Structure 1
Amino acid sequence: MTLYTSLQQTKNALLAAQIGIQVTGNNIANVNTPDYLRERVIYTPAPTQKYGGLLLGMGVQVEGVVQQVDHFLEERLRNSTSDLANGETQENVYLQLEALIGELSDTDISSSLNDFLGSINDILNQPEDVGVRNLSVLRGQTLAGDISRLYSRAKEIHTDLNKQIKQSASDINSLLNDIADLNVKITTLEAGPVTKSDAIGLRDQRQRKLTELAKIIDIKGVEQENGSVSVFLGGEYLVIDGIARQVETKTVAENGLNNVKLTLAGTDSPIQVNSGKLKGLITSRDDIVGDFLGNLDDFARSLIFEFNRVFSSGQGETGYQSMTSEFFVDESAINEPLDQAGLTYTPVNGSFKVYTLNTETGLTKTVNIPVKLNGLSDDTSLQDIADAINNIDGLSASISLDGHLQIASDSENVEFAFGDDTSGALAALGLGTFFTGTSASTIGIHDAIKTDPSKFAASKNGIGVDTDNAVDLAGFLDRPLDSRNGQTIDNIYSQLVGDVTQSASVAKSVAEGYRVFKETLDGQKQGLSGVSLDEEAVNLITFQRQFQAASRLISVIDELLEVLVNL
């Protein structure tokens, strides 16, 4: 081996130390860079050289610069990222619902309900005072407004979730395109036998894109031999080499709500996600907010119908001169049995009374109207009820062209009211009722009651006779409801609130569990792929000494060559 050969060997050592210092400096510079994977230099002995009968080494060579990464750990970390995003999304929506319900505030539904029913007790003490009845009407308006407002605000959350789901589609497409583009760049740089190094910066960018994508959907990333990453969602591929499939959106009407659905381009079936923010958004929209809206509607329907059943069986201080039913029956069904006529609320077999009062003579007449709903040929229809009321002296009844029952007194001296309804037909048709509407979004107070609070039905045995019906109305909160298998309206609302608070508590626990698990995996990743300044400082000193030693060797060889030349 000649001195020139030794000089080449020393050059290799200098180059190896220089690359080691550069990689170490890059690690130190990226100590706080998110998703940065620590780099390391792969050193191998340089090829040997034959010198006489000897095989002598040529020093060291740099085979490549690669990332310190555990692909299995990265896959687990992406899965935990998806789970955490799913859990935190649902946790956040439950927090919003709890804030809307506001059970610990003074403006919650239960407080409004108690205030409304409590105000009816005052009518028992001052039945002749229209102002007291008006207060009950105003409290009823407040209750209806609070229910409607709660529904509206919950629906705003539903709308916002739809917008986020739609935005997720754009984010997914952007990330898939970025990953596909990075695949092409990485495979181009790493192609062939020229280098065994990783395309470090590009791989870091792709790693960051995969992490961002995993926050949205539960992907599976598989690295191929050529360095590209194939991305799958369930059994469908999203990225293969430089090809990315796109996600499309469409709006579908479900349960009275518009829901955004995501499909893969070229298919009409929704994409199947099991975790990630998108899963959390879909679950929050359909199961959390959707169920809450449905349960709130159910509560409102029960409140409207059951309160109206009691209210329509009573009479106010004054009667009605005219009345039109709130609900209509289609023209083709006016001769059909009432329980098959398409009404929102279904009446049952029973009867109700019609009271007529002559304000001049003070005489009251009572007529019983049977409502036969036994499944026989003589079952009562809307036309039958109109005919029966029309036969009462002093009253006229007819069915309008749009299917509403219209009742009017034949004289200014005649007032009428209803009572003792065991069929629920009055509440089903919307005759002599307090609440209007059929849902949380449409609940309101009947205009006739708002205009004339004296019609508040406190009496049970005739117009302005007693306050027996007010007793029943005041105790409505704890009244067993036949349509709800004996549940009370208080039970229904308590269950509505309880479902939210209990589920919120579970969601918080689940999200916290996901947070702890992800932190554990993050710790493992940092131990393997994270940059340790202490370790890099030691490496820097090591490479510095290596460089200094090689430099010293070059100086010695230079001196020997000078001696050799001067001989």
Structure 2
Amino acid sequence: MSGFSSLNVAARALAAQQRAIDVTGQNVANANTRGYTRQRVEMQSLASVSAYGLQSREDSTGNGVSAEKVIRVRDAFLELRAQQEVGNAARAAATAATYDQLETSSGEPGSTGVQSLLSAVSTAWSQLSTRPTDTSSRIAVLSSADALAKGLRTVSASVDRQWTNTLGATTDVVAEANATLAQIADLNKSIRDAQLTGNPANELQDQRDVLVATLAQSLGATSVDTTDGMVDVVVDGTSLVSGTGASKLALRGATDPTAATTDPVRLAVVPGGSVLRVGGGVAGRIDALNVVLPGYQAQLDTVADLVQDVNDVLATGYDQAGSTPGAPLFAGTSARDIAVVMTDPARLAVAANPPLVVGTRTDPSADGAVADRIAQLGKTPTGPDATYRQMITGLGIASRSAASASATASTVLGQVDADRLSVSGVSLDEEMTNLVVFKQSYAAAARVVTALDEMLDVLINRTGLVGR
């Protein structure tokens, strides 16, 4: 190798180390940048020109180093695991949030909760059974019954509001997902064009990875690498982004909580209408819209229906005027509209027998048999009190289970993310070590240039004339 060839080798070494130092600086600058992937210069030794000549016999030491390629350091398997686990964690968190809000809406345990109101109604009926002609006791029954009906309507309305708010939040997430899908398709085009012209696209790929992670969290999406640096975004086996094209999503189904059981909410691709079984936070919210909230509302309706069994018992009794069948106390078809319709306490048909008839020994002031039968409804294992207790107990168990599942999913995500960042994240300690290595390598290459300069100086200026 000639001296000038050696200078070329040294120059390439200087350029390579300078490139490595520049990349290290980029890593350090973005150590706290969300979504940034650590970069590394891929250095490759260059063979000598003679290595490509079949007839050459020159014993060459090579032609230096090339450092033209800068790659992102990442593990595809860990990236996929992270996408999957972030979707699982988001779904579990959405479910836990649904149950937590339901527990808050129930107001249990508490003095204004339905459980306390049911107990107050049973107590009022029990007291009336011992004093059936006492007006204050009759008023107490009407008052406690009205409070119970209002309590059921309040909880039911709260569940309906939660349903409506959840639908609104899901609609917003889907709109954001559509915008994100379009952005990923645009970035695919930019990355493809950059790579075809030989320009770096690492930062664009980082931006795209952040967007994919957002979709993984909201929809349970995953990405698949394709040609020219592009990715496909897949949900439930359907490519929502393919190359430079993006699909759109829309919610279909019920827009009102009363229709949730007959026309469930679903996510579909438009146009086409194919329904997707999504993951992520949207899956947790759709579960809430179609299963959790309608199920809780149905249980409230069951309690309201059992409360209205009072009407059937009252129909067998006599009021203070001797009228029978007794007038109904409650009206309505569900917890949404249950209400007390009786306003006159004298109309409460709490006596099992007609009023005192001349010549008999029946004392109407002591006849509260119907009131006693109603009071006993609260003590039966299938009555409204027991049914509501079972409902609240089940809600508490489901809420704790959902919270535990969310905590577990979050822990798993943290572990997977830590593993991913150990590969693709920036370690300042490692970068500082690399900086020292590249700096010393640069200094060594510069020393080679100095040595070659001295050699050429001797060759050019101190040789060539005899006796000089």
Find the aligned partners of 1:315 and 1:65 in 2 and give their Cα distance: 92
Measure the CA separation in 1 of the matches of 2:428 and 2:284.
Answer: 38
Match of 1:226 in 2: 228
Asked if 2 retains the 8 angstrom alpha-carbon contact of 1:40 and 1:66, the reply is: yes
Please name the residue that 1:299 is paired with. Answer: 303
Contact residue 166 and residue 260 of structure 1 kept, 8 A:
no
| Cα deviation 1:536-556 (Å, max 9, x = unaligned) | 111000001111111222223
Mapping 1:24-423, distance limit 5 Å: 24-50=24-50, 53-191=58-196, 194=198, 199-252=201-254, 256-257=258-259, 260-273=265-278, 275-304=279-308, 306-318=309-321, 416-418=323-325
Instruction: Name the residue aligned to 1:532.
Output: 427
Match of 2:374 among 466, 473, 494: 473
**Equivalent in the alignment of 1:343:** none
What corresponds to 1:445 in structure 2? Answer: 340
Measured after TM superposition, the shift of residue 103 of structure 1 is 2.0
The 2-side partners of 1:33 and 1:264 are apart by 33
> Which runs of no fewer than 5 residues in structure 1 stay unpaired?
319-356, 358-415, 420-431, 481-486
Displaced runs of 4+ in structure 1, greater than 4 A? none
Q: Deviations over 1:422-455 (max 9, x none)?
A: xxxxxxxxxx100111100110001xx22x1121
Gaps of 5+ in 2: 51-55, 357-363, 463-468
Q: SS state of the match for residue 454, structure 2?
A: helix
Contact 2:164 2:257 in 1 (8 A): no
Of 332, 343, 349 in structure 2, the residue corresponding to residue 457 of structure 1 is: 349
Question: In the alignment, residue 473 of structure 1 is paired with which amino acid?
Answer: I
Shift of 1:223: 0.2
Q: Secondary structure at the match of 2:324?
A: strand
SS in 1 for 2:312: helix
Partner of 2:465: none
Q: Deviations over 1:15-73 (max 9, x none)?
A: 11111111111111121222221111100012313497222312111141101111121
- What letter corresponds to residue 55 of structure 1 in structure 2? S
- Give the drift of 1:81: 0.6
Query: Which residue pairs with 1:2 in the alignment?
Result: 2
Separation of aligned partners in 2, 1:163 and 1:290: 16
Supply the distance in 2 between the matched residues of 1:223 and 1:189 (Cα, whole angstroms). 16
C-alpha deviation, 1:127, in angstroms: 2.9
Equivalence for 1:352: none
> Whole-Å Cα distance in 2 between the matches of residues 201 and 131 of structure 1?
78
Give, in angstroms, the shift of residue 251 of structure 1: 4.2
Tell me what 1:541 maps to. Answer: 436
Q: CA-to-partner distance for each residue in 1:154-207, whole Å, 9 max, x for gaps?
A: 111111111112112201111111111111111111126x47xx6210111011
**Partners in 2 of 1:75 and 1:235 — Cα distance?**
15
Q: Which stretch shows the higher mean deviation, 509-518 or 249-258? A: 249-258
Determine helix, strand or coil for the equivalent of 2:70. strand
Q: CA RMSD in A?
A: 2.0
Give the aligned partner of residue 519 of structure 1: 414
For each residue in 1:275-329, what CA deviation from the matched residue of structure 2 results, as whole angstroms up to 9, or x when unmatched?
211100001121111110111112212221x1111122222223xxxxxxxxxxx
CA distance in 2, matches of 1:562, 1:203: 49
Verify the 8 A CA contact 2:160 2:257 in the aligned structure 1: no
Partner amino acid for 1:307? V
Task: Tell me the amino acid that sits aligned with residue 530 of structure 1.
Answer: G
Counterpart in the other structure of 1:19: 19
- Provide the rounded CA distance (Å) in 2 between the counterparts of 1:15 and 1:434: 92
Q: Is the 8 A contact 2:153 2:337 kept in 1?
A: yes
Contact 1:417 1:463 in 2 (8 A): no
CA displacement at 1:473 relative to structure 2? 1.6
How has the CA–CA distance of structure 1 residues 554 and 222 changed in structure 2, closer, same or farther, with 3 Å as cutoff? same
SS of the residue 2:44 aligns to: strand
Q: Kindly state the Cα deviation for residue 257 of structure 1 after the two structures are TM-superposed.
A: 2.9
Q: Specify the SS of the correspondent of 1:541.
A: helix
Count of equivalent residues: 445
- Using the alignment, how far apart are the partners of 1:463 and 1:169 within structure 2? 67
- 1:463 is displaced (CA, Å) by 4.7
What's the CA shift for 1:270?
2.5
Alpha-carbon distance in structure 1 between the residues aligned to 2:249 and 2:443: 57
Q: Does 95-104 or 138-147 show the bigger shift?
A: 95-104
Contact 1:299 1:492 in 2 (8 A): yes
CA distance in 1, matches of 2:44, 2:175: 46
CA distance in 2, matches of 1:235, 1:200: 27
Q: Is the 8 A contact 2:129 2:370 kept in 1?
A: no
Residue 12 of structure 2 aligns to which amino acid in structure 1?
A: N
User: 2:314 & 2:435 partners in 1: Cα distance?
Assistant: 87
Identity %, equivalent residues: 28
Alpha-carbon offset, residue 253 of structure 1: 6.2
Distance 1:32 1:268 in 2: 41
Contact 2:35 2:210 in 1 (8 A): yes
Question: For 2:255 and 2:433, how far apart are their aligned partners in 1?
Answer: 64
Query: Residue 27 of structure 1 contacts residue 531 of structure 1 at CA under 8 Å; is this kept in 2?
Result: yes
Matches of 1:238 and 1:545 in 2, distance apart?
Answer: 49
Within 1, Cα distance between the matches of 2:255 and 2:24? Answer: 58
CA distance in 2, matches of 1:564, 1:435: 114
Corresponding residue for residue 323 of structure 1: none
Deviation at 1:211, TM superposition (A): 0.4
> TM-score scaled by structure 1?
0.75
Which one has a larger percent strand, Structure 1 or Structure 2? 1
SS in structure 2 opposite 1:107?
coil
Alignment check: 8 A CA contact 1:478 1:490 kept? yes
In 1: Cα distance, 2:218 partner to 2:355 partner: 64
For 1:463 and 1:25, the matched residues in 2 are separated by 98
Q: Comparing 503-512 with 203-212, which one deviates more in the overlay?
A: 503-512
